[in-house]
């Protein structure tokens, strides 16, 4: 089944309260879930506008076999999306017969409401805010290529590389076909908001990972050296796992756990496309994993990103405009699970460093969980200072909480996030303590802006760096 038909099915399911957009997208088994998710979210956001245009143009009367939800998806794509560039098949031909009338009705609607831009047709609660204006962040997959080659590829496509950003203001000012290297995050390229790279050949070949800026922090701060054994406790959908594998250079072992079989299947596809060979996936509850199992005796690093309210997720704010703090009962249940998972992770005997992260803005899921876990392990673990240059710190709810990191669209140009780096306390004279300390993450040299000589026969995908 094609993209537009699947999107129409998901849209119908959401409107009939059969599930959330995210749940229905992942259960659809569609290969490119991010493209599908974005299309459904935007179609739903413009739903009232599309209904008005379709009705006034008489599209469903003229095309009696066209179902309403499919019509809505197709008209969004024609008028507000990509315009069927490079595809569309029979749907492009069908909508082409009505294109002039549909465009005229959209223009008439703007005149009637006294607006000039499509987004001004939206209700106030649905208009793009800081979330929808976030830059597009793209992590270079160093298992397949390197930043220099990716930069050169985009330059050959007509993009203008501006070097490493010096501040967040540089990222806010991005427009057109300009792009930058993130000021703090290695191998993270930044493009203007709404840049769509889902069909880009480098993304489809696994050379690029579309990943939010804050979502890159957990693996970067865990920083396991090549050859390490790592646990990714709640791994799906897999972007952080792929980042861990890149840091390991595919050397060592990642034990990745998740209870959702469909999400694991999608994750396996993502990891295969990214060229990852050091990961062992398991459909298993992390809380049921025994720390005394001999397979995990060399696990020195754990990434724990447990289920949370998702109150900081940009996609959730687009899916549920005005989504606020979850109910006290749900927060209590989530925080209880998160604390159990964190305390369980701290029982692995060889653990040196753990990163705990959520995409939640709620103190109950963040600082409170970390504080309680440390109090249950007095003297055994400590919060490590992390990334001093990061502008948004943890809430001062207990001593040392400022070592934690927070993120938000307003302060860091990313989704809402929380990260804590926890280290095992060792004797001051121990040489291993220095190895286990949280990295300062000094930015690596930025790819040079000068134009490099193009290699003969450069193809659609960049080769790995040697």
Query: Do residues 206 and 236 share a domain?
Result: no
Residue 253: C-alpha distances to residues 54, 247, 276, 280 (Å): 53, 12, 11, 7
Query: Do residues 220 and 350 share a domain?
Result: yes
pLDDT in tens, 125-139: 444 455 557 899 999
Query: Do residues 164 and 43 share a domain?
Result: no
- For residue 249, the domain's CATH number is 3.40.50.150
Give residue 464's pLDDT.
39
Give residue 38's pLDDT.
85
Does the residue 284 lie in any domain?
yes
Confidence (pTM): 0.70
Query: Do residues 292 and 406 share a domain?
Result: yes
DSSP assignment of 398-448:
STTGGGSEEE-HHHHSS--EEEEEEEE---TT-HHHHHHSPP--PPPPPPP
Query: Do residues 91 and 159 share a domain?
Result: no
Does the residue 324 lie in any domain?
yes
DSSP assignment of 2-62:
-HHHHHHHHHHHHHTTSS-HHHHHHHTT-S-HHHHHHHHHHHHHTHHHHHHHHHHHTHHHH
Does the residue 302 lie in any domain?
yes
User: Per-residue b/e over 234-247, b at no fewer than 16 CB within 10 Å?
Assistant: bbbbbbbbbbbbbb
Give residue 91's pLDDT.
79
Query: Do residues 276 and 402 share a domain?
Result: yes
Query: Do residues 344 and 280 share a domain?
Result: yes
Query: What is the spatial distance between Cα 216 and Cα 139, in angstroms, rounded to a whole number?
Result: 8
Query: Do residues 174 and 255 share a domain?
Result: no
Query: What is the spatial distance between Cα 405 and Cα 216, in angstroms, rounded to a whole number?
Result: 13
Which of 235, 292, 275 has the alpha carbon at shortest distance from 259? 235
Does the residue 61 lie in any domain?
yes
Query: Do residues 57 and 107 share a domain?
Result: yes
pLDDT in tens, 32-60: 777 888 888 888 888 888 988 998 888 88
The strand pairing partners of 151, in sequence order, are none
Does the residue 466 lie in any domain?
no
Does the residue 355 lie in any domain?
yes
Residue 356: C-alpha distances to residues 80, 232, 342, 359, 417 (Å): 39, 11, 8, 11, 11
Given 161, 181, 210, which residue is the final one in a domain? 210
Query: What is the spatial distance between Cα 446 and Cα 164, in angstroms, rounded to a whole number?
Result: 6
- The residue segments making up the domain with residue 390 are 214-424
| From 216, 278, 308, 359, the catalytic residue | 359
pLDDT in tens, 318-374: 444 444 567 888 899 999 999 999 999 999 999 999 999 999 999 999 999 999 999
Domain count within the chain: 3
- For residue 171, the domain's CATH number is 3.30.70.1170
Does 308 participate in catalysis according to the annotation?
Answer: no
Query: Do residues 63 and 117 share a domain?
Result: yes
Given 154, 184, 210, which residue is the final one in a domain? 210
Given 175, 190, 210, which residue is the final one in a domain? 210
Does the residue 241 lie in any domain?
yes
DSSP assignment of 309-352:
--TT-HHHHHHSTT--PPPHHHHHHHHHHHHHHHHHHTT-TT--
* Residue 83 DSSP class: T
Structure tokens that stand for 204 in this block: 């489809």
Query: Do residues 296 and 198 share a domain?
Result: no
Give residue 314's pLDDT.
64
| Binding-site residue set for S-adenosyl-L-methionine | 234-240, 258, 285, 305
pLDDT in tens, 273-297: 999 999 999 999 999 999 999 999 9
CA angle 134, 139, 141 (to 5 degrees): 165
Query: What is the spatial distance between Cα 361 and Cα 308, in angstroms, rounded to a whole number?
Result: 10
Between 68-79 and 3-15, two packed helices, what is the crossing angle to 10 degrees?
120
Does the residue 20 lie in any domain?
yes
Query: Do residues 297 and 231 share a domain?
Result: yes
Give residue 4's pLDDT.
84
Regions of the chain where pLDDT drops below 50: 124-128, 317-323, 427-437, 451-466
Which of 359, 355, 428, 451 has the alpha carbon at shortest distance from 151? 451
Give residue 342's pLDDT.
98
């Amino acid at each position: 089944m094609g993209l537009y038909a699947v999107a129409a099915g998901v849209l119908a399911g959401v409107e009939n309260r059969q599930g959330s957009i995210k749940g229905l997208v992942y259960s659809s088994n569609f290969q490119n879930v991010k493209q599908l998710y974005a299309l459904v979210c935007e179609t739903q956001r413009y739903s009232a506008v599309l209904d008005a245009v379709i009705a006034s143009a008489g599209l469903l009367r003229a095309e009696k076999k066209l179902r309403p939800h499919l019509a809505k998806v197709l008209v969004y794509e024609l008028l507000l999306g990509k315009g069927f560039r490079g595809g569309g098949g029979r749907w492009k031909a069908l909508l082409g017969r009505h294109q002039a009338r549909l465009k005229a009705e959209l223009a008439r609607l703007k005149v009637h409401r006294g607006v000039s831009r499509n987004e001004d047709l939206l209700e106030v609660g649905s208009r793009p805010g800081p979330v929808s204006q976030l830059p597009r962040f793209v992590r270079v997959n160093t298992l397949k290529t390197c930043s220099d080659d990716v930069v050169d590829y985009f330059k050959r496509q007509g993009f203008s590389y501006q070097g490493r950003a010096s501040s967040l203001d540089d990222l806010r000012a991005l427009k057109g076909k300009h792009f930058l290297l993130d000021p703090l995050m290695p191998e993270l390229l930044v493009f203007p908001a709404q840049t769509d790279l889902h069909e880009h050949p480098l993304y489809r070949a696994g050379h690029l990972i579309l990943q939010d800026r804050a979502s890159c922090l957990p693996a970067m701060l865990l920083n396991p050296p090549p050859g390490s054994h790592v646990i990714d406790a709640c791994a799906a959908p897999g972007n952080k796992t792929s980042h861990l594998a890149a840091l390991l250079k595919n050397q060592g072992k990642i034990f990745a756990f998740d209870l959702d079989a469909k999400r694991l299947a999608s994750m396996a596809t993502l990891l295969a496309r990214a060229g990852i060979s050091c990961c062992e996936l398991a459909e298993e509850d992390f809380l049921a994993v025994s720390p005394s199992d001999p397979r995990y005796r060399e696990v020195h690093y754990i990434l724990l990103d447990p289920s949370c309210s998702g109150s900081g997720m940009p996609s959730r704010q687009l899916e549920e405009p005005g989504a606020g703090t979850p109910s006290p009962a749900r927060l209590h249940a989530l925080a209880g699970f998160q604390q159990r998972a964190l305390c369980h992770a701290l029982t692995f005997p060889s653990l040196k460093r753990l990163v705990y992260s959520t995409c939640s803005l709620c103190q109950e899921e963040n600082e409170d969980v970390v504080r309680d876990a440390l109090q249950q392990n007095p003297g055994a673990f400590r919060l490590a200072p992390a990334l001093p240059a990061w502008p948004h710190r943890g809430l001062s709810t207990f001593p040392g909480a400022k070592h934690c990191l927070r993120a938000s669209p307003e302060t860091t140009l990313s989704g809402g996030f929380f990260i804590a780096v926890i280290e095992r306390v060792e004797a001051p004279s121990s040489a291993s303590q220095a190895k286990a300390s949280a990295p300062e993450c000094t930015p690596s040299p930025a790819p040079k802006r000068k134009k490099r000589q193009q290699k003969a026969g450069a193809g659609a995908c960049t080769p790995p760096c040697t």
